[in-house]
């Protein structure tokens, strides 16, 4: 069970870092110009949220108490929802469908968010239902 939790925590750590760097690298958003686009604010929110997920995942590598680890999983799940909601409902991206932020960054962040939700929920379920 410990190896499974280790692997899931490392995956969440990696995904959190990917969420943080994606809008500034391979799934880049619009550059700052005279007008600041919505995708700029989405990228900033994703940076903070991704780093939070990575921090929570890093903490879960070292925590021994299952109750604390469950709380970290819940925090990761909540932040994973934010990863999905920032580019879709809360902030959004540029309206033009051909823009890189709309065509690449938004779907990338949605996929990362879904993966974070699934992995964190699996870790939560594994810790919740394990036999004492």
30-63 confidence digits (pLDDT tens): 888 778 889 899 999 999 999 999 999 999 999 8
Helix axes 66-85, 2-21, angle to 10 degrees: 30
- What stretches of the chain show up as alpha helix (H) in DSSP? 2-21, 38-62, 66-85, 100, 106-128
* Helices 66-85 and 106-128, packing angle to 10 deg: 160
Specify the 3-state DSSP secondary structure of 32.
coil
* Whether this model's pTM surpasses 0.75: yes
């Amino acid at each position: 069970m410990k190896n499974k939790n280790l692997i899931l925590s490392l995956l969440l750590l990696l995904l959190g870092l990917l969420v943080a760097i994606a809008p500034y690298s391979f799934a880049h958003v619009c550059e700052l110009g005279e007008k600041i686009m919505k995708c700029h604010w989405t990228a900033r929110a994703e940076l903070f949220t991704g780093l939070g997920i990575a921090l929570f995942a890093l903490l879960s590598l070292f925590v021994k108490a299952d109750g604390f680890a469950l709380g970290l999983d819940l925090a990761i799940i909540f932040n994973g929802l934010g990863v999905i909601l920032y580019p879709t409902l809360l902030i959004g991206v540029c309206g033009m469908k051909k823009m890189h932020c709309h065509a690449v960054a938004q779907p990338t962040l949605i996929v990362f968010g879904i993966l974070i939700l699934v992995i964190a929920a699996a870790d939560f379920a594994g810790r919740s239902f394990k036999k004492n």
